[in-house]
Amino acid sequence: GALPPAPADGITQEMVDMDEFSRKQGMAVGMTGEFFRYKHLFHKRPTEKDREEAIEVATKIRCDVCAVIVGSLLQKAASMSEDDLADVLEGNADYEMTGDLVTDRMLQHRKGCNKHFKDELIMEGWTVRVCKDVDLERNPNDPCLFHDSGKPAGSAVDAYEVWKECLFYACEQTVGRFGDELAEHLASAVPKAVNRTEVVRKACESVARCRSG
């Protein structure tokens, strides 16, 4: 059996029992990151293997993910000052609580990459496809970020799927880890940029180190 929850983690047996009960109802009130990102984990509990796969795929798409997220957030920033850029990259937002335990817990955690991968990627029609269907210049069997012309229903962000976790981890490995450095760099680089897209792409490579191992 699993080890009992460690009180130091703030996880009580009651929470674990509650999670088990909720799981049977098809709802997620678990304690790992996935449970804070989604309302539903319908099919199965995410495994360590799922997580490893998502992290591995993320390393291959993170330059594109970083470029799309940062490019989108720049348009939402109040100004190109370092503080305003840091604000949008941190993605802190206030949400009205709904009274539904699972929804509210998800909203409380909807900041940073927990927010960006939903708002800037999934809700804008970005998914992960095999490169041979998307970009012929890349290894045909590698994963590629793909932009679908149609936008999904709002509920698309509620259910767990491994490809969505790939987007989340790709954000974490770049925007999440190097947000402050990106804000500082972009505040000086963007105002004088001729080609903003190129500046963002280079920032993802040099500042957010998306190409490094």
Segment 67-118, tens digit of pLDDT: 999 999 999 999 999 999 999 999 987 888 888 888 888 888 888 999 999 9
Report the SS3 class of residue 159. strand
Beta strands of 76-163 (E only): which ranges?
126-130, 143-147
On whether the CB atoms of residues 97 and 104 are closer than 8 A, the answer is: yes
Which pTM was predicted?
Answer: 0.81
In this predicted structure, what is the pLDDT of residue 133?
A: 86
pLDDT of residue 207 exceeding 80, the answer is yes
In this predicted structure, what is the pLDDT of residue 211?
A: 94
Most confident stretch, 45-49, 103-107, 128-132, 155-159: 128-132
pLDDT of residue 5 exceeding 70, the answer is no
For the chain, the C-alpha Rg in angstroms (whole number) is 18
Amino acid present at 104: D
